[in-house]
Structure formats: structure tokens, C-alpha cells
Amino acid sequence: MDTTTISLHTGPQRQAVDITAQAALFVDGRGDGLLSLFVPHATAGLAIMETGAGSELDLMDVLDELLPRDDRWRHRHGSRGHGADHVVPALVSPSVTVPVEGGRLLLGTWQSIVLVDPNTDNAERQIRFSWIPG
């Protein structure tokens, strides 16, 4: 298995960041197999979804509704409501697997791979790409 880790600076705002281009570059020319992606963070996840039409903001709004940024959380370090960030990986998985054929991601027409990062206390993220040949 071939593995590499990329780093992303997600900035001071809560967001979903499209990482499809980085994933496509990693599998380019590799043939058939599976791409496994994993984020080793307790407050981030990965999703496959449509991007560019407002869905990223919709996702963050839904997470805000499900996990309000207030003082209800037992996990209380960091910024106000940060405990909610620690629940995110239970709803947005820290890993996804994408089939690859001929060195190309087999995503649907409108599908992209996104890093979901609601945590403004940690703007540095790592994503592990692992190639599993077919």
C-alpha cells in the first residue's frame, strides 16, 4: 500500500474544503484500485457531495442546527461550543473510500471529496491518502 499525507490550512472559518483535485493527482496513472482517505483528527471528517452550488454552506448550516455552538457540551476546552466539533466525526466519517479505474476517480458527475472542518481552534489539517491496488 502506497500512502502519503497532505497538509491543509483551513483558516479561521468553519468550512468544507474540496480536495478532489489532490485526490485525483494522487491516483493519476495508477490503474485500477481503491483510494482510501482518512483524517486523523477528532474534530473533522470527510464527505462525498456536490460542491460549488452552495451545498458546502448548507452542510455547515445543518451541522450548526444539529450541533449548536453553545455551552451545552461536556467537552468544554477551546472556543465556545467547541464540544460540538468533537461530535462531528460521529456524523461525518473521518474516512472515505473511492473506487479508481484506469487512474481516475470513479465519482459521479456532481460528486466531490470534501474535508469537513468545523473547528476554528485548529486551522492545520492532515489528510492521509492510501492507494490499494486492484
CA 75 to chain centre: 22
- Look-up of cell digits 484500485: 33
Q: What is the pLDDT along the chain (134 residues), one digit of tens a residue?
A: 899 999 999 888 889 999 999 999 999 999 999 999 999 999 999 999 999 999 999 999 999 999 998 889 898 888 888 898 999 999 999 999 999 999 999 999 999 999 999 998 888 999 999 999 99
As a whole number of Å, the CA-based R_g of the chain is 15
Q: What residue numbers bound the domain in which 69 lies?
A: 2-133
Q: Which amino acid is at 36?
A: S
Q: Indicate the pTM of the whole model.
A: 0.93
Residue-level pLDDT at 120:
87
Contacts of 74 (CB under 8 A, 6+ apart): 83
Residue-level pLDDT at 78:
80
Number of independent structural domains in the chain:
1
Contacts of 117 (CB under 8 A, 6+ apart): 10, 14, 15, 16, 17, 43, 44, 125
The mean pLDDT of the chain is 94
Residue-level pLDDT at 55:
95
The CATH number of the domain holding residue 14 is: 2.60.120.460
CA-to-CA distance for 125 and 111, rounded, in angstroms? 22
Q: In whole angstroms, how far apart are CA 23 and each of 73, 85, 131?
A: 34, 25, 10
CA-to-CA distance for 7 and 113, rounded, in angstroms? 15
Residue-level pLDDT at 122:
87
C-alpha cell at 19: 480536495
The DSSP secondary-structure symbol of 128 reads E
Residue-level pLDDT at 18:
97
